[in-house]
Amino acid sequence: MQFGATTLTPAEESLRAEVRDFLAAELPADHRPALGFAGRYDPDFSRKLAARGWVGMAIPPEYGGHGRSAVERFVVAEELLAAGAPIGAHFVADRQTGPTLLHFGTEEQRRRFLPGIAAGEIYFSLGMSEPDSGSDLASVRTRATRVDGGWTVTGTKVWTSEAHRNHFFAVLCRTSPMEEGRKHAGLSQLIVDLHADGVTISPIPYLDGSHHFNEVALEDVFVPDDMVLGEIGSGWQQVTSELAYERSGPDRWLSTFPVLREFVREGAGKAVADDEATVIGRLAARAWAIRALSLSVARALDAGEVPAIEAALVKEVGTRFEQDLVEALRGAAETEVDQGTGTLFQQLLAEAVLTSPSYTLRGGTTEILRSVAAKGLA
């Protein structure tokens, strides 16, 4: 396992300036920042980004994309997250589904889905985690049974972000019985229409009542053969590769950045206590270090590597940082408020207190990520 030192080129810094100018023009003066990619769902904003070429950036032009690099996408995502832009509609399809279709999808699937993803008009969820499985992803019990012309799928998925509003999700399921000592074998991925007969979506609300996660029950849902993603039986290898995109980006350490920014803004021009300055300094130093790791993974992806272990480490340190930031600012501000009251900082802090426990769950729990990293260091 290794992280290479990297810096942004003048062209990449110029792209950053473009995004900042766009956000200054498009976000209203009273914009309330979203916390992370799951914070706000705004299809109109997603389409505006797509019109600027900032959705599906790494998708080749022949599929409606722009053929740009993972690092360029990193720069755009970093600015959007730092500003708290409403990117929840397109983000998973852009970050993860698009690259997966490019690597494993059929030509027909690429031409069907990728132009819509790049246009900010087709949205995907992920169908990996299941009830009672904890973090053991390979213990999948959702089954797909061979039928004439395709498969019927039965099982339940949980923590399925935005399934109630998205169009499709990629379901990890068992297409052949589990073999003794080979639980990773016999798994496949199928693209399932979230509006198909037999799909039931139930909300898993946050403590504040907001709705992002879902439980998705599948009861004899028919999936045609042309919606098999990749090779039958290769689901585990595909998902492992896919997680390098899910776990390594700025969305894994910038979710609570708007809270820190508002804390600093509200203190601008005021005398800052030594302990507050120390808190800000420590948080900024950690964020910069994690950013360097995350950017290194983006460079590795551009080089054709599959840095799954490095991505797991970035996700582990990143999402812990997001939660630590909330607790550090609670202590520094010495404030407890109800959501929707107080200053913008206080409102964002209250929202973060209620939603940040999910950060070390989605994309892999801390314990599993440490296990992945430890195996890479052995």
- One domain, residues 69 and 142: no
Contact of 208 with 349, CB cutoff 8 Å: no
163: alpha, beta or left? (left if phi > 0; alpha if psi -120 to 50): alpha
Tens-digit pLDDT profile for residues 171-221: 999 999 877 667 788 999 999 999 999 999 999 987 777 888 999 999 999
Which residue in 72, 130, 162, 246 is the catalytic one?
246
Q: For the chain, how many structural domains are there in total?
A: 3
User: Which domain-ending residue is among 61, 90, 122?
Assistant: 122
157: alpha, beta or left? (left if phi > 0; alpha if psi -120 to 50): beta
Tens-digit pLDDT profile for residues 323-337: 999 999 988 887 666
Confidence of residue 368 (pLDDT cuts 50, 70, 90): low
Nearest by Cα to 92 from 165, 19, 18 = 165
Residue 147, pLDDT > 90, answer yes
Domain region containing 153: 126-233
Residue 157, pLDDT > 70, answer yes
d(CA 184, CA 24) in angstroms, rounded, equals 47
What's the whole-number average pLDDT of the chain? 88
- One domain, residues 157 and 112: no
**Residue 240 within any structural domain of the chain:** no
**Residue 297 within any structural domain of the chain:** yes
**Residue 226 within any structural domain of the chain:** yes
Q: Which has more pLDDT, 41 or 338? A: 41
Contact of 367 with 374, CB cutoff 8 Å: no
Residue 142, pLDDT > 90, answer yes
State the pLDDT at residue 36.
87
Confidence of residue 232 (pLDDT cuts 50, 70, 90): very high
The fraction of the chain above a pLDDT of 90, given in percent, is 59
Is 276 a catalytic site residue?
no
- Contacts of 333-340 with C-beta under 8 Å, sequence gap 24+, read 333/263, 339/208
Residue 28: which CATH number? 1.10.540.10
What φ, ψ does residue 357 adopt, rounded to 5°?
Answer: -55, -25
